[in-house]
Structure 1
Amino acid sequence: MKNINKWGLGVAVAGMMLSACTKNFEDLNKNPQVSENVPPEMLITQSEKGIVDRDFDWFYDAYSYQLQWLQFGVAAPGSSSTGLFSPTNTNDFYNAFYKGIGRNLVEIESVVAKRPEGERAQYSSLIAIAKILKVYSAWRASDANGSMPYTNAFQARSDANYTPTYDTQEKLFPLWDAELKAAVATLQSTLPTQASPGNAEIFYSGDIAKWAKAGNVLRIKLAMRVLKRTPDEAKAIIADAMSVKNGLFVSNADDWKFLSADQSFGRSGNWAMDNSPLSAGKNMLDYMQNNSDPRLNIFYEKNSYTKELIDSLIKGGAFPATAQYNDQRYIGLPANPDRRDQAADAAVFKVKRYTMKFTVNGKVQEITRTLDTVSAVQRRLFNLDAENGTNNGARYTQPILSYAEQCFMLAELSVRGIISGDPATYYNNGVEASIKAYDDMAREAKIRDYAPLAATAITDYLAKPGIAFTGSADEQLEKINIQNFLNLFKSPWEAWGAWKRTGIPKEDSKLLPLERMTVSGQPVAIPRRWALPQPTIANQTNWRNAITEMQKTGEYGNGDNDFTGRVWWDKK
């Protein structure tokens, strides 16, 4: 791992933050570092920081595995795809939940409880926001791990409980929904004057109405995760959430996202793809290019072959005089690792080096250039130092839960007859919202060759036969979930979850086919879960019991490290 990039939010609350350096559950009972005089509203920053300041996860989980499994990216020419299906150094968000994120959110309640009774009511909204953050973080940790300590995970300090039991997802999902519902109700109730965290709360600056929407939309998302397992309960939750007044996002302005406040965030270190360079996945790029997707130049970079470069290569003798410039500068790589060894594909996977000779002042000079014939994944969207980036006002965006995703969820639910409403309207609104959101991300990141969104780009895109909301119910569902998948490009852990839930993109698709993956001629399944991290020896029994319980479904897989196995919600 490279050096960790330092945090920069422009919020001067570091001295008030909770410590997040514990390794084991017993450590949660030691060295409390929170003064009882610290304003509770200032304690939320550290947990929110822990959700988005995740360069280690980007380097390993995303760049090395998830973006490649999902075929958004492919190991670039000169790189190796060895070990792609045997992930290591991954899943750090699970540990972060216990070391800092969840621990600090629970501590907020403890700090409020120690305030004078007459002051506690002013922190009702803060505690509700903390509960939404805790549910989101726990669910994100559980999503690819399965069972996890939750109900008694943070009792080390209060009850000296160093061996928390593992709650099953079957228990956790209804519990999470109840906590979210209660938090939303609190935020929408008539509250006395509330202590606001202001800009110390990095997502919504303490905006209660927006947090209520975020919590309610999260209820719908979690309910959709369990539609296969507990359809009746999931449908009841969705109906209840849909009935909440002012409980849905109405535009991109409601998006739950992080936008960096200063220019030091998201730069170099593990944010960079230097040691794990990714080229565009061919099928993904071709789909976007064939349909004139306005997000194409935001997801992927053009290759190196400008007209000026071609002219230079001809002049230097590296190219013949008959060589022609091709303005098709978006080219992807096949995702299947075996394609790297096939003669028909060897040229595109080869690193291109050209030697040019020029005569200067009567002397011959040689210049060697290494060039990309294929497009790279848009590096500056993930690392603001890419493309020779400087502190020029560029800002980093990390979506958590968006209006676009909500629209795609509602479109799917409408097609399935679970909710009312016009699915075409939901779908079209989702596509428009996603394109505009990525347009904003590109502008904030100041990506190279950024051009503002053309006035007719979205309507033209929605008119394309492969995009327009037409066809049978199955075809409509595929179009919805392809667009939702693309929308989650900047949150690959979410795209991974969406793919597992829907099976889209799929290998036999006529719209966006997922390439069949093989190694040495043998089919290889894309991983579906992480290995549940081992706790300390004291809690090994509970950990083993959790794995044994998850294996009862018959879908968890053989052994602890069967990454192709499924957690409870991921039902076949």
Structure 2
Amino acid sequence: MKLIKNNIILLVLLGLLQACDKQDFVDINKNPDALDKVPPQNQFLNATISMNSTDFDAFYEYYQKTMPWMQYTTGLNGNQGPFTQNWDNFTQRYGRLYDGVGNTLYDVEQLVNKLDEAEQPKYVNMVQISHILKAYYAFYVSDIYGSIAYSDAFQGRYGGTLQPKYDTQQALFAQLDSELKTAIATLKTAPSITQVELGNYDQYYNGAAQQWVKAANALRLRMAMRVAKADAAAGNAIITEVLASPATDFMSSNADGWVFKAKASFTGTGDGGNRNPSTLRAAKPMVDFMWTTKDPRIDAFFTPNGYSQANIDLLIAAKLLPAGTKQPERRYIGSFTNPEDAKLTSIISHYYTVKRVTIGTTEVQVDTLSFLQPRLFSAGYSDPSGKDGTGLSYLPVITYAEFCFMRAELALKGMGTGTAKDWYEAGVKSSIAWYDEVGTGSQLLNYTAVTAAEITAYLTQPGVAYDAAKGLDQITSQSYLNFMKQAPEGWALWKRTGYPNPTSVVPLPPVKNLGVVLTIPRRAPLGLISDTDPNVANKKDAYSAMATIPGFGTNPGDATGRVWWDKP
């Protein structure tokens, strides 16, 4: 992983990267041939920045939907009413594929193709790395949308069709896997000519081919485990093939993680912006489990409540607490995820009623409940004194911990090397270590670095110490915790495995409104088709085909329905 340089980001955003200036980028929109002036590596960097700068997704998809649905968080006063039916502005990832990521990565290959024939072989690795990133993002979009335009897409300004056909999810996943296999094989082959390296234009791995091999293999496993739910033979064949690779082609430490790192300002400063999580509460089921098991990640995920001894003393002085009140041992208290609990008068009075005391002209609010750790999501978030954070922003794609948990789950099925217990424990350790790196690197507030003794002790806790009889439950529960920064993956885990659930190690209790159990959505709602859409025929065909998928839902806009891989 490489730290993104402020000057590179600035140059990209201003359109002044190296051989091209601002006018070049204006010209590109008017004349596609002007793109020839842009070095291929510029478009790779532009794509990665576009992919990771989707702050609307942070607000709408993470904070408003997948995080409360998966009980990573609640609103300020707990989950309210039929909150699982909030589908508006679901996600920006679909549009970003065609305007910012997929099209820009497609440019990389087209720019290379326009170079002199003698120069083109120097860019083979760069093109294949672009294919890996494009395959990931297409998978990420299709994962919740189903059929999408891919095989015919991105070609319009190069003389290709402006009405691309839609690939079914089943066909798309097979094509993406094939592309990843080709990329891996190419990157593993010693080039016959010195390659033009991506270097700092690759903020994941600095252009290191072998690191991209590891990332691509991890992605193949993630995709294949989705496929296996709908087509066990096809998914397991891919898994078996991947696991036959040499150990050097796999992630083996947190240093191999597929993670974008940037300055604090990349995810926002102060207390404004779409990534600002300051009104999001910690969720009670997760907090209770982490507190009970002495999880070392608890202060990386959440903030302590307001009952510090200093604040208690202020409340005593204001006669709002009795003299002699001491700071409680437990200051991590979660918010109620069930709307019917959150509306009870006794709970509102005890948990959601903030005590206030005025000192001079300053009002101090003392809150019973914890919030999300703000700098975990917005590294530039200002501290209580108003000073903006100056740490790092971490935006993971696939962490080493996730790779370990996938291997642990597969080991339960007798696939691959190593035992489920060993991979599970490696996943727990690496997850804690990674969040500890984030804790220090992002300068999380009220954070204490983890010790080796804490990790050792955690692995002996009931519910954490590996129990073969609860193997899948424990593996998926820890994977769920690890996805705190990747709620859409926690959502996918739940759809694929059925964990977490009301009785799992880390529980996901049922939620109700007016006595009715709420249904958690399973896919993105599909928009209405306009007859003025230039690709209306292909879109209608795609919708009609998806409507035949078992469990698709009552209509295209029904987010409680399923895509192909999410087989009932």
TM-score (norm 1): 0.91
Name whichever of 98-107 and 366-375 sits farther off: 366-375
- The residue that corresponds to 1:362 in the other structure is none
Question: Per-residue deviation at 1:30?
Answer: 6.0
- The residue that corresponds to 2:94 in the other structure is 94
- Distance change >3 Å, CA 374–CA 39, structure 1 → 2: same
- The residue that corresponds to 1:336 in the other structure is 338
SS in 1 for 2:32: coil
The answer on whether the counterparts of 2:355 and 2:366 sit within 8 Å (CA) in structure 1 is: yes
SS in 1 for 2:425: helix
Residue 533 of structure 2 aligns to which amino acid in structure 1? I
Question: Per-residue deviation at 1:238?
Answer: 1.1
SS in 2 for 1:288: helix
SS in 1 for 2:259: strand
Q: Distance in 2 between matches of 1:65 and 1:452?
A: 31
- Distance change >3 Å, CA 184–CA 569, structure 1 → 2: same
- The residue that corresponds to 1:471 in the other structure is 468
Q: Distance in 2 between matches of 1:317 and 1:29?
A: 66
Deviation sequence 1:200-232 (CA, Å, 0-9, x none): 111111111101111111111110011121111
The answer on whether the counterparts of 1:10 and 1:261 sit within 8 Å (CA) in structure 2 is: no
- The residue that corresponds to 1:361 in the other structure is none
Residue 523 of structure 2 aligns to which amino acid in structure 1? R
The answer to whether the aligner puts 1:557 opposite 2:553 as a matched pair is yes
Q: Distance in 1 between matches of 2:35 and 2:554?
A: 47
Q: Distance in 1 between matches of 2:546 and 2:268?
A: 37
Question: Per-residue deviation at 1:507?
Answer: 1.4
The answer on whether the counterparts of 1:241 and 1:247 sit within 8 Å (CA) in structure 2 is: no
- The residue that corresponds to 1:379 in the other structure is 374
The answer on whether the counterparts of 2:205 and 2:212 sit within 8 Å (CA) in structure 1 is: yes
SS in 1 for 2:445: coil
Q: Distance in 2 between matches of 1:254 and 1:262?
A: 22
The answer to whether the aligner puts 1:459 opposite 2:446 as a matched pair is no
1:248 aligned residue (238, 247, 250): 250
Q: Distance in 2 between matches of 1:117 and 1:366?
A: 72
Q: Mapping of 1:280-295 within 5 angstroms? A: 280-295=282-297
Q: Distance in 1 between matches of 2:337 and 2:372?
A: 13
Q: Distance in 2 between matches of 1:266 and 1:366?
A: 29
SS in 2 for 1:489: helix
SS in 1 for 2:491: helix
Question: Per-residue deviation at 1:345?
Answer: 2.1
- The residue that corresponds to 2:194 in the other structure is 193
Q: Which structure's residues are more often helix, by fraction?
A: 2
Residue 428 of structure 1 aligns to which amino acid in structure 2? E
Q: Distance in 2 between matches of 1:205 and 1:44?
A: 12
Residue 215 of structure 1 aligns to which amino acid in structure 2? A
Q: Distance in 2 between matches of 1:476 and 1:79?
A: 31
- Distance change >3 Å, CA 151–CA 418, structure 1 → 2: same
Deviation sequence 1:417-461 (CA, Å, 0-9, x none): 233321111111111111000000111110112211112111111
Q: Mapping of 1:173-572 within 5 angstroms? A: 173-191=173-191, 192-245=193-246, 246-261=248-263, 263-267=265-269, 268-274=272-278, 277-321=279-323, 323-355=325-357, 368-388=363-383, 390=387, 393-472=390-469, 475-509=470-504, 511-534=505-528, 537-572=533-568
Deviation sequence 1:135-190 (CA, Å, 0-9, x none): 00000011111110011012222335222111111101111110000001110001
Give structure 1 stretches of 5+ with no counterpart.
1-6, 23-27, 359-364
Question: Per-residue deviation at 1:29?
Answer: 9.1
Give structure 2 stretches of 5+ with no counterpart.
none
Residue 488 of structure 1 aligns to which amino acid in structure 2? F
Question: Per-residue deviation at 1:82?
Answer: 6.1
Q: Distance in 1 between matches of 2:434 and 2:472?
A: 22
Q: Distance in 2 between matches of 1:127 and 1:429?
A: 33
Q: Distance in 2 between matches of 1:385 and 1:74?
A: 22
Q: Distance in 1 between matches of 2:407 and 2:183?
A: 22
Q: Distance in 1 between matches of 2:168 and 2:460?
A: 45
Q: Distance in 2 between matches of 1:33 and 1:69?
A: 46
Q: Distance in 1 between matches of 2:71 and 2:377?
A: 17
Q: Distance in 1 between matches of 2:186 and 2:76?
A: 50
Residue 142 of structure 1 aligns to which amino acid in structure 2? S
- Distance change >3 Å, CA 383–CA 81, structure 1 → 2: farther
The answer on whether the counterparts of 2:79 and 2:336 sit within 8 Å (CA) in structure 1 is: no
Name whichever of 260-269 and 50-59 sits farther off: 260-269
Residue 15 of structure 1 aligns to which amino acid in structure 2? L
Question: Per-residue deviation at 1:387?
Answer: 4.3
SS in 2 for 1:117: coil
Residue 40 of structure 1 aligns to which amino acid in structure 2? P
Question: Per-residue deviation at 1:318?
Answer: 1.8
Q: Distance in 1 between matches of 2:408 and 2:523?
A: 27
Residue 397 of structure 2 aligns to which amino acid in structure 1? I
- Distance change >3 Å, CA 367–CA 9, structure 1 → 2: closer
- Distance change >3 Å, CA 137–CA 433, structure 1 → 2: same
- Distance change >3 Å, CA 335–CA 18, structure 1 → 2: farther
- The residue that corresponds to 1:3 in the other structure is none
The answer on whether the counterparts of 2:44 and 2:104 sit within 8 Å (CA) in structure 1 is: yes
The answer on whether the counterparts of 1:534 and 1:540 sit within 8 Å (CA) in structure 2 is: no
Residue 269 of structure 1 aligns to which amino acid in structure 2? G
Q: Distance in 2 between matches of 1:564 and 1:214?
A: 31
SS in 2 for 1:260: strand
SS in 2 for 1:488: helix
Question: Per-residue deviation at 1:35?
Answer: 3.5
Question: Per-residue deviation at 1:34?
Answer: 4.4
Residue 369 of structure 2 aligns to which amino acid in structure 1? V
Q: Distance in 2 between matches of 1:564 and 1:180?
A: 31
- Distance change >3 Å, CA 271–CA 353, structure 1 → 2: same
Aligned-residue RMSD, C-alpha: 2.3
What fraction of aligned residue pairs are identical, expressed as a percent?
34
Name whichever of 324-333 and 188-197 sits farther off: 324-333
The answer on whether the counterparts of 2:73 and 2:283 sit within 8 Å (CA) in structure 1 is: yes
Q: Mapping of 1:1-150 within 5 angstroms? A: 9-11=6-8, 12-13=11-12, 14-16=15-17, 31-32=31-32, 34-77=34-77, 83-150=83-150
Aligned residue pair count: 547
Residue 543 of structure 1 aligns to which amino acid in structure 2? K
Question: Per-residue deviation at 1:489?
Answer: 0.8
Q: Distance in 2 between matches of 1:507 and 1:30?
A: 55
- Distance change >3 Å, CA 393–CA 369, structure 1 → 2: closer
Q: Distance in 2 between matches of 1:94 and 1:187?
A: 29
Deviation sequence 1:237-272 (CA, Å, 0-9, x none): 112112223210011111110111465543341111
SS in 2 for 1:144: helix
Question: Per-residue deviation at 1:80?
Answer: 5.4
Q: Distance in 2 between matches of 1:519 and 1:540?
A: 38
